[in-house]
Amino acid sequence: MNLVLRRSLPLAPTHGHGSSGLDYRRDVDGLRALAIIPVVLYHAGVPGFGGGFVGVDVFFVISGFLMASLISSEIAKGEFSLVRFYERRIRRIFPALFAVLATSSIAAWFLLMPAEFVYFARSLKAAALFTSNIQFEKESGYFDIGAQMKPLLHTWSLAVEEQFYILFPLLLLLINRFARRRARLIVTGLLAVSLVACTWMLFRSQAEAFYLLQFRAWELLLGALLALNVIPVPQQSALRAGLGLGGILLVAIAIFGFSDQTLFPGPAALLPCLGAALIIHGRDETGPAGRFLQSRPLVFVGLISYSLYLWHWPIIVFSREVAGRQLSLLQGSLIVIASLVLATISWRFVEQPFRGRASFVKRIPMFASAAGVLIASVGLGDYVAHHRGVPDRLPADARTVYASTYDQSRFSLPPCFADSDKSGPSVADINAGKLCPLGFEGPAKPSFVVWGDSHSGAMAPAIDAAAKQAGITGLFAGHSSCPPLPGVQLTPRGDTGLCGDFNGAVHDLIAAQHIPLVFLVAYWPKYVHDAELPNEGPYFDPSVPPPLDDRSASVVETLDRLMAELTKQGTRVVLVSDVPEMGRYMPEAVAKAIMRGTSTDVAPPLDYIEKRQALSHAILTRLAARYGAALIDPLPSLCSNGRCDAVRNGLPLYKDADHLTATFAATLSPLYVPVLSEARR
């Protein structure tokens, strides 16, 4: 449908950009440079640019301004066409984006482990469909290490913009048809609603507030309001100069004053966004800010800013993959230079040939090519995800090691294990005693229960083997992210309602069947510190202290009360201390070490692990002594002589960063034989 408007808005802008018939503004290209340079330096790890991520917010304001300027100008002339508008977007966005997607796919094929490659495949498909902001919101937060290892993470902002560009022209068409005199009021109202919603969501789900269009639209709408002349452009040169300098100051405060710890976006994002708005609105041409922004180096960087944004992040991520560690300042600086060179080439030979009406690529072939590449990207993403990251790509020895990722027992999977998607045993199943058996299988009444979170499922093969040796039967009751602590309010990482119902049913089952022995197994350091190790990324750095804040009050109170109740009813408690956390996914880390020919001794030092486990171990020791409970600590079986093992007999001991493989867990059965043999007697 080629919609051309014959009515005009009563607020046509008097400014614009480039070949679309709008006045070219060098200062806007300079502002683009002011946005992209901090982003690149922040991502490259250059000190001093802790708030460099706000460059994306500056881009949002610029984009909203330029697009609203273009659309409203053409509507005012009666020339707006949706088809022509989207054609311009495709010419502007697709060529460089698809070049980056193709290049990144080749690099990912050779460098990424299967699980990483699956994440990449999903992001490839989402980037091609401009839904990557939704995809990444589902997966993780922006600032964690895992997210920082996703080569297409940065495409989330393109997705936000393109989603906005799909909806905003339609909004202006509707306004032009039904409410021309209220256009500014409507856009202002939408901006206010989006900003309030963003601030509200920030305290409920920072990831949603960060990634999703409805919570970011206010930044683009701020630029749109400038285009709609809500505030008249100042005429005095001194005022223009002041607005330009003030805008640069606000952006600079955000760049140099913010950090990964800043609660963002929300109100904090007002600083860079208002700064960008002041610069755009001031239209300073002769003042110090205008001269700075219109300088040739900044204008040139602004011209290549789109290619620079696209290329710099995959280069950083894949350079880390090759180096096998975080990049040094020198390496980061060299990557910045390389990104500038590649962006210049991309701008000249990939972007430019598709731009403008004089392009050698005509409309229909361009649409067809774009559709073909999009389909190919989606197809490749589906293929890689369906084949679990195509592990056959790996050399045989690395593939053997990586197979440990899938080494898990039935106790870590439904129907034995209750997952957050409500699969596995239900409350009704627990009430009926329909839980997976452990140990000797027969008609005998269960003599024990293993109760805990996913770490109980990982440890269950050891208890299962010991129970078989002792000749007794038990039941397994494990639920993901659900410690055996009835009534504890979980952080947003766990579902308190599901967990509470599950724990209540297990507690009632133990009492109803008079089960004499219960093993409480959980990821104790996570709960007493309310934090896992920092995302357990592939570049774990033991020089960075682990999270050690004491958040144990509710854990201690609940565990104390539970042990008192169990002891009073005649059930003996066995507390199982947690295994050492490795800080990275072991099969991936070991497989990469093999491929690089480096050491496979990649476990954290023992003193690091002891610091991390000190609080939880002290709590478990104290409560075990109070109630005469047994305490089983697997740490000595994994660590000795000042170090811990990540690999034995050529295979990782963990299937990820903190769950043992089923094969290795079974070797820990001697830890449990004494207490189970005593239970039998």
- Cα Rg, the chain, nearest whole Å: 29
- Residue whose C-alpha is closest to residue 425's, from 449, 403, 407: 449
pLDDT given at position 8: 33
pLDDT given at position 489: 67
For CA atoms 586, 588, 589, 594, give the dihedral sign: positive
| Structure tokens belonging to residue 428 | 């009704």
Show Cβ contacts of residue 45 under 8 Å, excluding neighbours closer than 6 positions: 326, 327, 329, 332
| Structure tokens belonging to residue 55 | 């460059």
Output the DSSP codes for 267-299.
GGGHHHHHHHHHHHHH--SSSHHHHHHTSHHHH
Averaged over successive runs of 10 residues, the pLDDT of the chain (681 residues) comes to 32 40 84 97 93 97 94 86 88 93 96 91 95 90 65 96 94 88 92 97 93 97 93 87 95 95 94 96 91 95 97 94 82 94 95 76 81 93 94 92 94 92 89 92 86 96 95 94 84 66 94 95 94 65 85 94 95 96 90 88 90 96 96 94 89 93 96 90 73
Distance CA 654, CA 665 (A): 9
Residues paired with 449 in a beta bridge: 475, 518
**Cα separations in angstroms, 601 against 42, 327, 386, 591:** 31, 21, 32, 12
| Structure tokens belonging to residue 200 | 């509200």
Collapsing DSSP to helix, strand or coil, 570 comes out as coil
| Structure tokens belonging to residue 494 | 């766990």
Residues paired with 573 in a beta bridge: 518
Q: Say if CB 490 and CB 522 are below 8 A apart.
A: no
Distance CA 509, CA 409 (A): 24
| Structure tokens belonging to residue 78 | 């009666």
Distance CA 261, CA 161 (A): 25
pLDDT given at position 17: 40
pLDDT given at position 532: 82
Distance CA 255, CA 36 (A): 11
Q: Say if CB 520 and CB 584 are below 8 A apart.
A: no
pLDDT given at position 496: 65
pLDDT given at position 364: 82
Collapsing DSSP to helix, strand or coil, 515 comes out as coil
Distance CA 367, CA 358 (A): 16
Count of Cβ atoms closer than 10 Å to residue 618 Cβ: 12
Distance CA 321, CA 51 (A): 25
Whether omega before 415 lies within 30 degrees of 0, making that bond cis, reads yes
Distance CA 466, CA 461 (A): 9
Tell me if the pTM is above 0.85. no
